Amino acid sequence: MSTAAATGAAAVTRPAGAATGGVLRQVTGFGSNPGNLTMYEYAPVDLPANAPLVVALHGCTQSASDYHTHSGWQKFADQWAFDLVYPQTNSTNNSSSCFSWFDAGKDTRGKGEAASIKQMVDYAVAQHGSDPRRVYVTGLSAGGGMTADLLADYPDVFAGGAVDSGLPAQCATTLSGASSCQYGSLNLTPAQWGDKVRNSYPGHTGPWPRVAIWQGTSDTSVVPVNGTELRDQWTDVWGISQTASSTKSLVGNTTESIYDDADGQPAVALFSVSGMAHGLAVDPGSGADQCGTAATYYIDTICSSYHTALFWGLDGSAPGGGTGTLPAPTGVTVTATTGSISLSWNAVSGASSYAVYRNGTKIGSPAGATYTDTGLAAATSYRYTVAAVDSSGAVGAASAAVTGTTTGTAPSCYTDNNYNQVRQGRAHQSGGYAYANGSNQNMGLNNVAITHTLKEASPGYFVIADSGCTT
């Protein structure tokens, strides 16, 4: 793999709320960093609040700068306004600078590299006001294996993931077991693969991340059966069939197979690139669906980052993109009050209903050309798109995105580890545990490994608001 060093990435310590201004920068002081990783971040100029966040993990012998330069993610971060975080490992952690997807002490919830990456997410969300419901993770090779582990470890954090030439979640738990995953099959059933995810965070029942899988048919470093096993694993987790709901041919000799959830929305996608060896699929050029630059382990076939972003709905459309032929609604307008946003648009001929998306997630299916979104946080911006749905249920093209901002005063919310929450006077400790001031809710052990969001519901009265800080 490419051995480009992280040159040009200036090391800075950013104060709270500071923007990065479209430059790849090193971030220090993001947490206790038990996995000994380095954090880099790229934030487009004028990044809005409630924007998505994408975490991108490099492959062995690569760096954050190398991945940023070649993968193509910067193009879409600029175009669709989302933050990018690039964790970087090193030769101290692994002689080839691989993420430790095969080490149970480093790739499980709350431990090692996985915990460091979670701290990076918390830090970035707090700094930019990113939407915690739209955090995604992607990675190549060993970074892909760690991506799958992170999706299993933190399904409550990541809304989606993309595993590029990688391994199923928890395929190996020791270094000696890694080769069996890379070069062969463990011959597990879909249910056994699914159990590896479910056992990574027992008690979690959903929602589960939407997972894109990229695999070359001529890969000899991570053999193609891994793509099939990833498909089996995540369709089983979702409780859906291993038979594709739809397939289509894309550029670069790529076959896209989509596996829909119970609502008919894409939950898992398998992109099989015929003839591609081990690496990340890129497609240099200026076209809307092109990205990246070719280099060692960056293979000129198809822009995987573009299709992954569409699958997650980062362009503001439905996750997976529309499949129908109806045109996009025009004239979408918004009006806002405290706690609600109303939308209206021009009716589309042939539409039997409409799909309304807030921040890339479907929230309503009105029959007419109006919709009111309620129960929203005060003084908060939300991004909406609308698509027409025909009588067969096929979703057409999405409208241009519009933004509505609710009125009122936003609550004060603070995301930090338990130790710092106590130090800042938002919580107190007793018997080694941290408790939120006022509500006295148990936050877990008083240490830096556990992070919560606290909302100040009234002066000096704090409640846990990990699922979203709303009024």
Shared domain for 58 and 184, answered yes or no, is yes
Given this model, what pLDDT does residue 296 score? 96
Is 297 part of any domain?
A: yes
Is 328 part of any domain?
A: no
Given this model, what pLDDT does residue 93 score? 95
Shared domain for 369 and 430, answered yes or no, is no
Given this model, what pLDDT does residue 5 score? 28
Shared domain for 64 and 33, answered yes or no, is yes
DSSP β-bridge partners for residue 236: none
Given this model, what pLDDT does residue 323 score? 58
222-233 per-position pLDDT tens digit: 999 999 999 999
For the cut 90, the answer to whether the pLDDT of residue 394 exceeds it is no
296-315 per-position pLDDT tens digit: 999 999 999 999 999 998 88
For the cut 50, the answer to whether the pLDDT of residue 16 exceeds it is no
Query: Is 55:138 a contact under the CB 8 Å cutoff?
Result: yes
With both helix axes pointing from N to C terminus, report the angle between 304-312 and 73-80 in degrees, rounded to the nearest 10. 40
- Report residue 321's pLDDT band, with 50, 70 and 90 as the boundaries: low
Name the one residue in this structure whose structure tokens are 């025909």.
390
For the cut 70, the answer to whether the pLDDT of residue 449 exceeds it is yes
Burial class of residue 253, CB neighbours in 10 A (0-12, 13-18, 19+): middle
93-117 per-position pLDDT tens digit: 999 999 999 999 999 999 999 999 9
Is 327 part of any domain?
A: no
Name the one residue in this structure whose structure tokens are 């993610």.
73
Please give the DSSP secondary-structure letter assigned to residue 54: E
Q: How many domains in the chain?
A: 3
Contact partners, residue 383, CB within 8 Å, separation at least 6: 50, 316, 358, 359, 360, 401, 402, 403
Mean predicted lDDT score pLDDT of the chain: 89
Is 64 part of any domain?
A: yes
Domain C-terminal end among 279, 312, 345: 312
Known catalytic membership, residue 392: no
Domain C-terminal end among 405, 425, 453: 405
* Marked catalytic residue, from 63, 100, 116, 141: 141
Report the number of secondary-structure helices (H) and strands (E) in the chain.
9, 27
Least confident of 75-84, 409-418, 424-433: 409-418
The pTM for the full model equals: 0.69
Shared domain for 284 and 168, answered yes or no, is yes
DSSP β-bridge partners for residue 259: 268
Domain C-terminal end among 379, 405, 431: 405
The range of the structural domain enclosing residue 50 comes to 10-312
Is 321 part of any domain?
A: no
53-97 per-position pLDDT tens digit: 999 999 999 999 999 999 999 999 998 899 999 999 999 999 999
